[in-house]
Structure 1
């Protein structure tokens, strides 16, 4: 983990344009604000390119995708590519329906993504690798490391496969992360917010490898810290503690957790 990346995010307060799902907008906005970024949620096709051009990074999340939203996602991401700012894809529930898969296929054909993040089932589906899923959840077993490599190689991007162990594959190198807490799996939008924080880290001048490793490991550290607070008794009390933890620095989290 590179704490300087987090300091840089908090110093520059990057504007992240979210084209994300309806379920997680409030949580994502509050989480990114706590971390140090500035969220904007804008999905109208008429303003998508302008908003992306004004932003420092773009997050595309298909969790509650509609056919009317896809053109806006494409316009925003194309504008981001033209500006040279990071674009992150979160293919939520892509394995659930052909509509989602067709949309992601169009997105990946027209856009160069800086990183793609998803659970093992979602990421495996992107590269036609068998993996059991249930709605937006991954419930099967397989080689997540190989899935990360295959997504990165096939789509010419960096891949982050989330799970009990997270795997990051970028620039021909594989990294793993085991920080986190099972309570993340009991709240809606945990993965979606991670995509936002990844995008914020990628706006800094540090290399992609360090940005992704820092985002994923810090996120897990904050979750672990929050889950171990005395007042946390379950998912409901975990949420505010987690938002608080995202606002802390690495040293504080490590010292208070130990």
Structure 2
């Protein structure tokens, strides 16, 4: 991160999709002891491997793999960067000690396939804070069907069972320099940027809640898959209207849309910038 190296926290509430993550981890491996305990010969090749998975984007991939020395107790430093546009929700970071090569002469009880896991550890990092997080793109609205002078547009597609990262897309009009600059500065926003981001958040929350309430299957008892649009909307509803039933919220939204819009402004604490 730009502000320097910090220990891995439980969450990054101010993270956004334009912020890449630079991660480091040191692992010390007793190679000779590992081979003895796994009943491997002295020449068996070992590697340390790091793999990441993002629940918000439903993406995963290898982060880094380092082949270990032939013997001793080396300290290995994993050092890699993940693109913010690939992330979201809960980031799972798996580190594993693996057999680097297939062994045709392995004993019956010892690992033989390349990639066999000899040891593993998992760390988690929650990237979504109080604000809804979704992919975004900066485009020229003049080349779209959107009004040329609109500042942003939240696009929602697919059903509530679809993955959030594939269902939501926030489009920013590059012609609106105030809004485009605010998102460019989202990692370190100025006071004016915070006001713009607050307005976008409030509008996005309203659109998302109206979209959710338009579906009769959107209820407290609904069992949407983790990482789905429905699960994201349920979580948003719980944060904005704690202790209130979805039936009551839906009734208020349909009977008095203007009052519901004011309720949302209060719930998101619009323009309350620090």
What TM-score, normalized to structure 1?
0.24
Greater RCO (Cα-Cα under 8 Å, separation 6 or more): 1
> Which is higher, the Rg of structure 1 or of structure 2?
2
